[in-house]
Structure 1
Amino acid sequence: MEPVSTPDQPVSLFDRVNHWIRTSTMLKMAAIGILILVLLIPTEMLQALIRERESTRNEAITEVSAKWGGQQVIGGPVLSVPYEVINKDEKGTEQRQTLFAHFLPDDLQITGKVQPEQRNRGIFVVMLYNTRLTIRGSFHKPSIASLGISPEAMQWDKAFLSLGISDMKGIRDAITFRVNKVPLSAEPGIPSNDLLPSGVSASIPIQPETETLQFESAINLNGSTQLSFLPFGKETHVSLQSPWSTPSFTGSFLPDQRSIDEKGFLASWKVLQFNRNFPQQGVGNFLAKSISGYDELPTFGVKLLLPVDEYQKTMRSAKYGILFLILTFVSFFFVEILDRRRIHPIQYLLVGFAICLFYLLLLSISEHLSFDGAYLIGSGIILALITFYVRYVFQNLRLTALFSVILALLYGFFYSLLQLEDYSLLLGSLGLLLILGVIMYLTRNVNWYKAYDAEGVAV
């Protein structure tokens, strides 16, 4: 109602301004907008906290992996033959330099089983594995004519076979090569790191009459999270089996055949030399000459994923926080308009802080329980807290029940968005369309110029 003036008591300017402040719809909406901007601060702080906890988890994984074995990349075997180059300086003095010619296998077959192990570092789960691989294949007698190397420069008696292993700490048993059925003990390190930065090698003198080298080796290796391979064969065949039921096939090539069920997975790859951009033989680091760099070598393999990454889901949930706040405040505002009940900005702010607290509860509980259980517990606690509070704000049991149902539906709606990753945009768009339609229907008779007055809402 407008302030009423009498001849004896005129309405002051202060009273008119105070009345306008209390009943102005636009001013109230502006105040709500400012409150939402204020609540962005704790929302961003919560997202920073989630990133911090995820970083702590990753540090725990790195710490355990450093002692057990990191992500393993297997490359080779590679046959390397040193050769001598004679150069003359400006004074005519001869300088002898030893370089290496490298030859990749014609056929490379790797089979193995990956046995997963879960370890705990505090409250964090670290995904480890042990793998036993059998590597077989063959080399034909190297041809050096295309390399432009003099046959007399080749030191066939100093040839060696090398196998690349990215993290040597993971080796559990001694590695032995069988070349043409002759056992050769491998030694740590590789005489030339042109192609492989770390691994094991074995001396394998090549006789002039040798036409084919058949090799075989077995590896017992520890690693963490991921196992990858380099496609060094003209034909590279890899077959892996594991009881882990949530694998992710990574790298440049997907498996040709795979089967995944609750008992584990079985996957096999076939990669041809035509599927990569480097030749079968060369001198020095010829791989880097064929591609941009060693880091861009095409690898393929498998990553053992944990069934649920609670931090990823919690972060996705927190990103919806601002939308959740807006929809809750909109519901609060329309209860205020339709029931012509003034709600103080402090009361908006307290409800907003309760909604922000939900994401903190979700983060802390999900570190100990499943994400679904944490979401149910957290939303139930906050729903009960807000229902208890608005019961005294509204002073109306029917409005309290209605508001609580709306809040429960919002929690269910956003939970559905988190579950349906592929259809979240479609579901979100339809949900917002439905919410807007309901708001437009409920406010179709509202006179926004007199929203707080008795005649502002048509009956």
Structure 2
Amino acid sequence: MIDQLQPPPQKWYENSILIKLTVITLIILALLIPSSWIQNLVDEREDIQTKMGSAVSDSWSGSQLIQGPVLVIPYNKLPGAACNATGYIYLLPDDVHIKANLKTQPFKQGVFDVTVYTSATGVQGNFAQPNLAKLGITPGQVMYDKARLLFGIADIKGLLTNPLVKIQGQNYTPEPASSDVNPFVQSLQVEFPLPVNGNIAFNYNLDLKGSNDINFLHLGKTTDVQFKSDWPTPQYNGRYLPDTRDSTSNGSGAKWHRLYYNRPFPQQWLNDNSVLSNPKSIAEATFGVRLQPPVDEYRKVTRTNRYATLIILLTFVSLFLTELIRKQPIHLFNYTLIGAAMIVYYILLLSFAEKIGYNYAYLISSTATIGLISFFTASLLKNKGAAAMFALILSVFYGFIFIIIQLEEYSLLVGAVALFFIVAALMYFSRKINWDNH
């Protein structure tokens, strides 16, 4: 009698659920390595965008800082001497009123977008007479006929038109300020005869272009700024938040009213053109607006990539439970292929986001990845119904991540609640599994 061939005995570890689960965990940990590579790629592309933005700013115009005005009055240090030495009185305004109306436009540089703007900015206010007694100067020392009004902007090439300055009802055309009295890095000046008595009224308009930011320097005893823009999501800069602000889908606006009590500059001083160029003082007295989306494309991709481990973990757990419930083992190599597809997803997302924006890129990348994994699962399980259910599970996972990315203030709350229900569902489906031997 010929003995029938017996199948080789199964080794003890081939049916061990815990050992397979351990190997799957190791696969998930191994997939963290390419996930970190993808994050490095995102950081690199974002750095390139920053450099592109700097290049656009260099050729268009950079962030603007509206500075001034400052009244500079020359005086004779040594009255009556044969050769008089000239000194300068620096005087800040009593009140400054600024109205800035911005219109933005996207500037395309390859696959990168930079926000640029044009601004119609009006500046008006008043100067009081200098307190000569406090400065230790007599009226006879003051050269009233050679007074200068100076004002500055951060990037002078951003001027679109030649500004016209009106002082006491008279029009003046500004010119670049001389370095001996210039209190700013870049400024313009007008020379005019200063009245001996009474306040000095001024106003001028600046037609500017800039990129990303517009800021204002708090110089007056009172500084009022009114800002309007077609940009719907402004971010406010500096030490001073606006007193009132509003934002709609059509644009935004804000108002500031600042007093001189916390201004880091004196009202008047002598012979020092560096008072207004101190970086620390400028930082303390600057406020304004950054024209930046709340979450740009690269930040969205970065936030999405942070959930890579969670998505892979939930997918593998779902697949593992499917194979246990249906009693159809899936080879570990197939787990690795599915994990690889989920890693490639993030490269697709990044490349498409640069071209068509994050939302459409997410839809295309998610649909392609879910479709690929579902077809692969259908061929493994030989069951279209199970593959369709797995596709639904993946859609829920990717939809859940998309919703979290769109949210800002409530993303943590929504994510925590959703994860609670996901864990509850996994507990429900795993309650009848024999983990000792299946």
Equivalent residues in 2 for 1:130-279, closer than 5 Å: 130-147=118-135, 158-192=146-180, 195-206=183-194, 209-279=196-266
Q: Within 2, Cα distance between the matches of 1:196 and 1:153?
A: 26
Q: Within 1, Cα distance between the matches of 2:166 and 2:234?
A: 32
- Identity, % of aligned pairs? 35
Query: Cα distance, 1:73 vs. partner?
Result: 0.3
Partner of 1:311: 298
Aligned partner (choices 31, 34, 45) of residue 42 of structure 1: 34
Q: Within 1, Cα distance between the matches of 2:419 and 2:104?
A: 43
- Supply the AA of the counterpart residue of 1:378: S
Query: Does the residue aligned with 1:220 lie in a helix, a strand or coil?
Result: strand
Write out per-residue CA displacement over residues 128-179 of structure 1, whole angstroms, 9 at most, x where no aligned residue.
Answer: 1111222111111111444466877766555422112100110122233222
Equivalent residues in 2 for 1:55-454, closer than 5 Å: 55-82=47-74, 100-147=88-135, 158-192=146-180, 195-206=183-194, 209-283=196-270, 284=272, 285-286=274-275, 293-306=280-293, 309-450=296-437, 452=438
- Supply the AA of the counterpart residue of 1:251: G
Residues 154-163 or 430-439, more deviating: 154-163
Residues 99-108 or 378-387, more deviating: 99-108
The alpha-carbon distance between structure 1 residues 189 and 330, as it changes in their structure 2 partners (threshold 3 A), is farther
Asked whether the 8 Å contact 2:129–2:197 carries over to 1, the reply is yes
TM-score, normalising length: structure 1? 0.84
Query: Does the residue aligned with 1:232 lie in a helix, a strand or coil?
Result: coil
- Supply the AA of the counterpart residue of 1:423: Y
Residues 97-106 or 162-171, more deviating: 97-106
Q: Within 2, Cα distance between the matches of 1:372 and 1:425?
A: 20
- Supply the AA of the counterpart residue of 1:282: W
Query: Cα distance, 1:78 vs. partner?
Result: 0.8
The alpha-carbon distance between structure 1 residues 176 and 316, as it changes in their structure 2 partners (threshold 3 A), is same
Query: Cα distance, 1:263 vs. partner?
Result: 3.6
Query: Does the residue aligned with 1:116 lie in a helix, a strand or coil?
Result: strand
Query: Does the residue aligned with 2:41 lie in a helix, a strand or coil?
Result: helix
Q: Within 1, Cα distance between the matches of 2:407 and 2:327?
A: 39
The alpha-carbon distance between structure 1 residues 192 and 259, as it changes in their structure 2 partners (threshold 3 A), is farther
Q: Within 2, Cα distance between the matches of 1:48 and 1:158?
A: 59
Residues 296-305 or 43-52, more deviating: 296-305
Equivalent residues in 2 for 1:14-29, closer than 5 Å: 19-29=11-21
- Supply the AA of the counterpart residue of 1:43: S
Query: Cα distance, 1:53 vs. partner?
Result: 1.7
Q: Within 2, Cα distance between the matches of 1:146 and 1:286?
A: 18
Asked whether the 8 Å contact 2:92–2:268 carries over to 1, the reply is yes
Write out per-residue CA displacement over residues 350-403 of structure 1, whole angstroms, 9 at most, x where no aligned residue.
Answer: 101111111111112122223222211111111110011111222233332222
Residues 25-34 or 132-141, more deviating: 25-34
Q: Within 2, Cα distance between the matches of 1:66 and 1:313?
A: 27
TM-score, normalising length: structure 2? 0.88
Q: Within 2, Cα distance between the matches of 1:405 and 1:241?
A: 46
Q: Within 2, Cα distance between the matches of 1:155 and 1:40?
A: 73
Paired residues, number? 427
Q: Within 2, Cα distance between the matches of 1:194 and 1:40?
A: 56
Partner of 1:6: none
The alpha-carbon distance between structure 1 residues 441 and 264, as it changes in their structure 2 partners (threshold 3 A), is closer
Q: Within 1, Cα distance between the matches of 2:306 and 2:348?
A: 15
- Supply the AA of the counterpart residue of 2:17: T
